């Protein structure tokens, strides 16, 4: 089950954390993986781990806000994708009064516009073939609002909405669109966010306490969901929001 043999996948933000884990998991299942990231060192390291483990992968630098770079990656990939994972994203801490227009613009540009640009570039070939899976990384913040995460909550709700709109518009094409919405995941990105708090230890304790399991999720646990949605076993799944939140949203 969940074999991705002979499938071509592209993962954005594959240089670390969830993106790296997804790239490695898809490759382990048999997919040829194009790992992309602005972080060339991190992306190259992901590809090295995949290839050393017997998988097949290559790295291409990509800033998802840069249309020229997206076009260059598409030209380098050449073959139509079977799987597109829009994982790259950014965040910030703060209420609306603590969020500058520049902060909001940055999150919109990366999380919404970047996901839009990448999907718009690779979707036509998928539609022409009549098959494919697009997996967008949302967040628990795309389903329930998070305190002190005004901009992040706003853009992640948009990512979930974008996913549903894509699924509805292309429901009869054979291309599927789904979003994964994790709770807090133990990644370098989360470590950076924790460092922004006056008391990082207390902030970590608070983050862990919001999940019923009493801990953050691990990147591999999110990657397992991406593998399922990318696989042919999920052929009837489109327009869905898959929660990986240890019951956080159950009572909301």
Which positions are annotated as active-site residues?
152
Instruction: Look up residue 31 and give its DSSP letter.
Output: -
Number of CB atoms found within 10 A of residue 63's CB: 16
Tokens found for residue 4: 């991705």
- Phi and psi based region of residue 66 (left: phi greater than 0; alpha: psi -120 to 50; beta: remaining): beta
Determine the Cα–Cα distance for residues 227 and 22; give it in Å rounded to an integer: 8
Tokens of 138: 């949302």
How many secondary structure helices (H) and strands (E) does the chain include?
9, 7
End-to-end, the C-alpha distance of the chain in Å comes to: 33
Q: Could you tell me the two tokens for 152?
A: 């992040």
Q: Residue 46 in contact with residue 23, Cβ under 8 Å?
A: yes
What token pair was written down for 211? 């999940």
Handedness of CA 106, 109, 115, 117 (dihedral sign): negative
């Amino acid at each position: 089950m969940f074999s991705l043999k002979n499938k071509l996948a592209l993962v954005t933000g594959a240089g670390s954390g969830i993106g790296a884990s997804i790239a490695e998991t898809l490759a382990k299942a048999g997919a040829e993986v194009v790992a992309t990231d602005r972080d060339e060192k991190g992306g190259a390291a992901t590809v090295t781990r995949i290839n050393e483990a017997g998988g097949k992968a290559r790295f291409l630098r990509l800033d998802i806000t840069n249309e020229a770079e997206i076009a260059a990656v598409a030209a380098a990939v050449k073959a139509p994708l079977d799987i597109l994972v829009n994982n790259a994203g950014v965040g910030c801490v703060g209420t609306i009064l603590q969020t500058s227009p520049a902060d909001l613009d940055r999150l919109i540009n990366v999380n919404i516009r970047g996901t839009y640009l990448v999907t718009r570039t690779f979707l036509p070939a998928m539609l022409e073939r009549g098959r494919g899976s697009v997996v967008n990384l949302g967040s628990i913040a795309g389903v329930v609002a998070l305190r002190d995460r005004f901009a992040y909550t706003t853009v992640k709700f948009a990512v979930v909405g974008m996913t549903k709109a894509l699924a509805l518009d292309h429901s009869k094409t054979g291309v599927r669109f789904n979003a994964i919405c994790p709770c807090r995941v133990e990644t370098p990105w989360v470590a950076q966010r924790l460092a922004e708090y006056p008391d990082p230890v207390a902030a970590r304790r608070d983050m862990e306490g919001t999940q019923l399991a009493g801990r953050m999720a691990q990147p591999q646990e999110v990657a397992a969901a991406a593998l399922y949605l990318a696989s042919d076993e999920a052929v009837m799944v489109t327009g869905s929001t898959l929660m990986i939140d240890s019951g956080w949203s159950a009572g909301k």
